[in-house]
Structure 1
Amino acid sequence: MAAFGTVFMPEMAITKFENGEWTSTKNVPSDSIPMHPGAHVLHYSSTCFEGLKAFRHKDGGIYLFRMDQNVKRFQQSSELLKLPAFDAKQVEEMIVNIVRQYADEVPAPPGSMYVRPTHIGTEASIGKAAAPSSSSLLYVLLSPVGDYFAGGAKPLRVLLDETGMRCAPHMGMIKSGGNYASALGPILSAKDDVQADQILFCPNGDVQETGAANFILIDGNEVITKGLDTSFLHGVTRDSILTIASDMGMTVSERDITVDELLERAAKPNVEAALSGTAAVLTPVGTFIYNNKEYTVGSGEAGATTTKLRHALNDIQWGNAEDKHGWLVQV
């Protein structure tokens, strides 16, 4: 089976911002885009993207999950990067129409159609290091994917890093390629040095997020995660999991948490930790690595509450449970 996110539908939806306005949406081949070598994005990283999924239900219907929230965050990222503003309705229509075109290609659960809206600055100007791009390109790619963890979600080994940050503090809430690139070097070093699967960035002891996912701690009936600020990504999956936990009667605490508190709680037998994101949904963490010492999180295995929350979210996405929050949009 092809690696997750490496297969694409033959066409993508695209629109351009030129001469102060957006063009009508059209579909073009998804394997190439015309771009000048001096394009702003290639030199000054004026790029942001989103990741959401379309799911096939048992009745054959295709449903997008929380598209409105992803488009809202997409607008926010574009605004903070000073890319041209776009109309949310146009982008939602682009997503719905291209998914509808390839509805027959949406896999059955646990697979899905991964949807990747992307916005890039295209002005050919290498003299604009301190100025925004006056033109841009916005497109929607589709990639049919299977289960992110085809062999089962084994608990991850996570290095706690108090010295670095995933990205600049004011850039954390932007879903931009540069943020992922800046975290790549430390993550690869952690894999080589201590066989970690990911880094949990904790600058000055403040527990934030990993290189590609939000972090959640579960202690009995309480779910603890950092409160929203500009330093880390405001995950849609994170928000969904917290909402489901609240629906189940759990206590949701969005607040700062220190490395000291994290390690103290991790020693308790009923504590669980997990990473949340669109691709991996909710993935258990079994081991923390800190100052060359390993700390087992709870039992070290996937906990019952993590599994329950993951299944509850999947059941809504797959149409096996009531969508009482109106998260699904049929295409």
Structure 2
Amino acid sequence: MKIKIELTQNKKEKPATSALGFGKFFTDHMFILDYTEGKGWHDPRIVPYQPITLDPSSKVFHYGQTVFEGLKAYVTETNDVLLFRPQNNFKRLNLSSARLCIPPVDEELALEALKQLLTIEREWIPNAPGTSLYIRPFVIATDSYLSVAPSQTYQFMIILSPVGSYYANGINPVKILVEQQYVRAVAGGTGEAKTGGNYASSLKGQELANEDGYDQTLWLDGKEHRFVEEVGSMNIFFKINGTVITPALNGSILAGITRDSIINILNYKQIPVEERQISIDEIIEAHKNGQLEEAFGTGTAAVISPIGELKYLDEKFVLNNGEIGQLSQLLYDTLTGIQTGKLEDPFGWIVKL
């Protein structure tokens, strides 16, 4: 399908790098693709960034039939534009869509649309250290019909946002509260899909963590409330007695692309890594024995987020003196180095515009 392009006549003023934050500003253009039952996906177009008009009865509002992705574009010191594993994002988008009964998007078309959109918005990609252009593809159900059934019409869109660090403190260690009352997801539910409802159900835990002076919530499994799953916006890793351990994917944990990248880097550097079930009791015991050396979260937004403190059952556990661990720093430097073109990419992850 040929992508139609309509350029804006009113370009926005670009924000100062110091004002970026995360997800506060949006570029001049967006991509839209429509779906109609019996016709398939059609009418791909790049248009000026604008509000969308939906009927109040649209199913996305009432039944949460929506999925999304998150990835980034970077500009190198030689002024090249790089994408990091975008094919994996569109593949995961379709896996999430399958769980939500949303028709799959042509992944090659999605990637081509993204490349064209980035070409138009190239000047929006910030080049200061720690900055990037965040990319948000998403699908919404647009049927104006209140029957509880999959929609027959959808819109797939891509919007772009220049961003700085996800956390105000940058790569400084964050404080994590282990959630005791609520659960995020259970195996067989939608936990492994990147859908809005998962994040809506996590907000209460996030609110409680913030009220207690913590940055994020660490979720335990929904059945036994014992096994570690993930942090609100990140997968999680623990370095215990020289081995890096991350919870195995079990149907309720998001298969993070940064998570997979870190596992690949650890293997490449011959650092022991295990994907397995790990209980909060094992983690606390390792801390008490002096074997819990580091912990960190991984995700597109924060990349690597060292954990400086855990709170569980009203007891606080400080990790690595509340400082960035050597491994966390190494992994951050390695991954961001590959993403920004400063380091060699031995994995074939980078797509150059």
Superposition TM-score tier, normalisation by shorter sequence: over 0.9
Deviation at 1:3, TM superposition (A): 3.1
Question: Which residue in the other structure is 1:121 paired with?
Answer: 141
Kindly indicate whether the alpha-carbon contact (under 8 Å) linking 1:163 and 1:202 is maintained by their aligned counterparts in 2: no
Q: How far apart are residue 257 of structure 1 and its match? A: 0.3
Q: Does 1:224 align with 2:242?
A: no
Tell me if structure 2 keeps the 8 A contact 1:158–1:196.
Answer: yes
Query: In structure 1, how many angstroms separate the alpha carbons of the residues matched to 2:168 and 2:202?
Result: 25
Q: How does 1:1-331 map to 2 (within 5 A)?
A: 1-20=19-38, 21-108=40-127, 109-127=129-147, 129=148, 131-149=149-167, 151-169=169-187, 170-192=189-211, 194-203=212-221, 204-267=225-288, 268=290, 271-331=293-353
- Which string of whole-angstrom CA distances, capped at 9 and with x for unpartnered residues, describes residues 83-122 of structure 1? 1222111111111111111112211142111110010111
Gaps of 5+ in 1: none
User: What CA distance in whole angstroms lies between the structure 1 residues aligned with 2:326 and 2:161?
Assistant: 31
Separation in structure 2 between the aligned mates of residue 289 and residue 152 of structure 1, nearest angstrom = 21
Preserved CA contact (<8 Å) 1:56 1:62: yes
Cα distance in 1 for residues equivalent to 2:21 and 2:113:
26
Tell me if structure 2 keeps the 8 A contact 1:13–1:28.
yes
| Distance verdict in 2 for CA 1:184–1:150, change over 3 Å | closer
1: CA distance, partners of 2:154 / 2:170: 40
1:243 alignment partner, SS class: helix
CA–CA distance in 2 between the matches of 1:266 and 1:30? 49
SS at match of 1:24: strand
Assess if the C-alpha contact under 8 Å between 2:20 and 2:162 holds in 1: no
1:23 alignment partner, SS class: strand
Q: CA deviation at 1:216?
A: 0.7
Residue 214 of structure 2 aligns to a residue whose secondary structure is coil
Aligned residues with identical type, % of pairs: 35
Q: Could you list the runs of 5+ residues in structure 2 that have no partner in the other structure?
A: 1-18
The amino acid that maps onto 2:36 is E
SS at match of 2:321: coil
- Deviation for aligned residue 1:167: 2.8
CA distance in 1, matches of 2:145, 2:167: 42
CA distance in 2, matches of 1:135, 1:122: 5
In structure 2, what is the Cα distance between the partners aligned to 1:266 and 1:298?
A: 10
Q: How much does 1:190 deviate?
A: 2.3
Asked whether the equivalents of residues 47 and 177 of structure 1 are also in contact (C-alpha less than 8 Å), the reply is: yes
Distance 1:85 1:143 in 2: 24
1:15–1:137 contact (8 Å) kept in structure 2: yes
Q: Find the residue that maps to 2:30 and give its secondary structure.
A: strand
Structure 1 Cα separation of the partners of residues 169 and 104 of structure 2? 42
Query: How far does residue 19 in structure 1 lie from its aligned partner after superposition?
Result: 3.9
Under a length normalisation based on structure 2, what TM-score does the superposition of the two structures give? 0.89
CA contact (8 A) 1:114 1:143 kept: yes
Q: How far off its partner does 1:240 sit?
A: 0.7
Structure 1 residue 125: deviation in Å? 0.6
Distance 1:260 1:167 in 2: 20
TM-superposed deviation, 1:24: 3.0
Amino acid at match of 1:303: G
Task: Evaluate the alpha carbon distance shift between residue 202 and residue 276 of structure 1 in structure 2; reply closer, same or farther with a 3 A threshold.
Answer: same
Instruction: Report the secondary structure of 2:265's partner residue.
Output: helix
**Count of equivalent residues:** 328
The answer to which of 140-149 and 243-252 deviates more is: 140-149
State the one-letter code of the partner of 1:158.
I
TM-score normalized by structure 1? 0.95
Separation (CA, whole Å) in 1 of partners of 2:166 and 2:217 = 19
Task: Name the amino acid aligned to 2:228.
Answer: V
CA distance in 2, matches of 1:322, 1:229: 33
Deviation at 1:40, TM superposition (A): 0.8
Q: Is the 8 A contact 1:51 1:278 kept in 2?
A: yes
* Separation of aligned partners in 2, 1:220 and 1:157: 22
Give the secondary-structure state (helix, strand or coil) at the position aligned to 2:322. Answer: coil
